[in-house]
Structure 1
């Protein structure tokens, strides 16, 4: 009988060990599950917490009021491109590192009204719309590739409408003009630019195709060798100083308020069909919810307050007067 008793003791010991291992495994599983839940919560919190923009270059605008993902009507973060135009429409605040101005104020308000979690993504403008000297303008690689759901505040033009869908407009279309150094030291004559070299900011609506529609300008259709594309306003200004271009053609908002340059022509409005709107791929759903929310904003007092802030909160930057482009003012 001893062997049977011994086997029984061994069986009981084995069972005890197995029970202990099962309990240990259960504890490990529970701890791992707790870590997974904690990581998920932290990820959700970070998703709706406003970033400073210094590292990620993303400013969450829909989540600025301390909302959680449960407060939005979907779990998507809508990515909206923005840039630095150096005017009161959109500019980098050097103190906060954020993109501020009229356009971000509008986009923030519409996203809040629509109950959407939106993020402003800073990038170069040519990732929304690009054109090269002597070539047809075309959609920017970033928007075409789906890096953003939309590019914010782009002028509605026929060539862009062939490529992208647009929301209703939330501002009027400001004019374009020629720019020279203050005093027009070279005596630039905007009525006849035959043989002149003209600078354009790459990706902007005031391009050589727009200028070609200016019937009042002789020689408006420029050969490729007389077209210079600048990365930004500063490059066009530097080229004027270096006398490598005779004039630049751009939005009047970029020229106003600048002491070193002046508007050297009449102002043109031949380029755009409407004013500024959101530009998105045809297969993107952003415009479906954007238009109803924007309509509510434009009918509210908040829209007029945003327009006033063009000269108050953003008045230290050159650019628009509220009456130039705010609807209903």
Structure 2
């Protein structure tokens, strides 16, 4: 049946309107595509101009040591130091600040490198740590980035497995055993079988170092014969005869009257002298080594070494000729 006339008119009107809408959609689509193409071309031209311009802004990676040069210039380099009470590092009773050879050396290197450095006091165990009988490992502070480097740490194979080192700036000192004055127990350092030995926390001279020493019977100690302690605590353990002897860098015993060194020139641990110990991803060594080389070749280095006696001579420790390079 054919639709009525009025229905035909409505049908034709709807058909005509639908066709018109289709044409309108097509026009809008073409216009949108043209705008998209134009925007794409403009973006390419703009990018090309930026890449070819010397005035393009630098990107600063805030909070990372791998940022731009501008960020590195503004960075405060935090360097760990410990107040161990010797002429290399100690807390001054007059100023309350960390002083000594290492502090003087660090300040000079940073000045030459034009870097903003701050020596911060922190326990050695935050740089290097070990538990009695366990494998030594990196200290949490340096591993976690509390500071950028630890100052004056000896280079050893164990530490090189975990950390990077700058060029060395002191000689490698010997290690030694120390007993009470007069060695009342007749401690024989060449046979320590069954003896209880104290080691400084965070020191390169630990039980693993001792185990590699040649000519010492019983050098591989069982865990129950090992004591780890801070220096003052170790000396207290020796005084109350909890331990038979202390094993450490010989510098720790210089100038002390409450202990007696019973070893001569025992080179057991380090493969090198003092250096800056840092993480392998740090950029500190990149600027530190060139600045340090300039300092070592200058008269200022000898003046810093001389000040070990002049300015820091009231503290125990080695003489400058014992650890300064080419002194």
Q: Unpaired runs of 5+ in structure 1?
A: 1-70
Contact kept? 1:72, 1:116, Cα under 8 Å: no
Report whether the alignment pairs 1:301 with 2:299: yes
TM-score scaled by length of structure 1: 0.77
1:229 CA displacement? 0.6
Say which SS state the counterpart of residue 311 (structure 1) adopts: helix
1:270 CA displacement? 2.2
**Aligned counterpart, 1:208:** 207
Report whether the alignment pairs 1:276 with 2:274: yes
Matches within 5 A, 1:26-41: none
Contact kept? 1:72, 1:117, Cα under 8 Å: no
Matches within 5 A, 1:290-329: 290-329=288-327
Matches within 5 A, 1:241-256: 241-256=239-254
1:267 CA displacement? 2.5
1:266 CA displacement? 2.4
Matches within 5 A, 1:53-64: none
Cα distance in 1, alignment partners of residues 161 and 283 from structure 2: 18
Cα distance in 1, alignment partners of residues 215 and 233 from structure 2: 27
| 1:240-270 deviations in Å (ceiling 9; x for gaps) | 1111100010111110100111101223112
- Write out the 4+ residue segments of structure 1 that deviate beyond 4 Å after TM superposition: none
Cα distance in 1, alignment partners of residues 217 and 72 from structure 2: 54
Cα distance in 1, alignment partners of residues 118 and 305 from structure 2: 22
Contact kept? 1:134, 1:224, Cα under 8 Å: yes
| 1:96-124 deviations in Å (ceiling 9; x for gaps) | 01000000111000000000000111111
Cα distance in 2, alignment partners of residues 204 and 282 from structure 1: 20
**Aligned counterpart, 2:118:** 119
TM-score scaled by length of structure 2: 0.77
1:235 CA displacement? 1.1
Cα distance in 2, alignment partners of residues 97 and 308 from structure 1: 23
Cα distance in 1, alignment partners of residues 230 and 119 from structure 2: 21
**Aligned counterpart, 2:127:** 128
**Cα RMSD (Å):** 1.3
| 1:151-193 deviations in Å (ceiling 9; x for gaps) | 1110000010110010000110111100001111111111100
Cα distance in 1, alignment partners of residues 218 and 71 from structure 2: 54
| 1:58-117 deviations in Å (ceiling 9; x for gaps) | xxxxxxxxxxxxx99711100100011110010000110100000011100000000000
Highest CA radius of gyration, 1 or 2?
Answer: 2
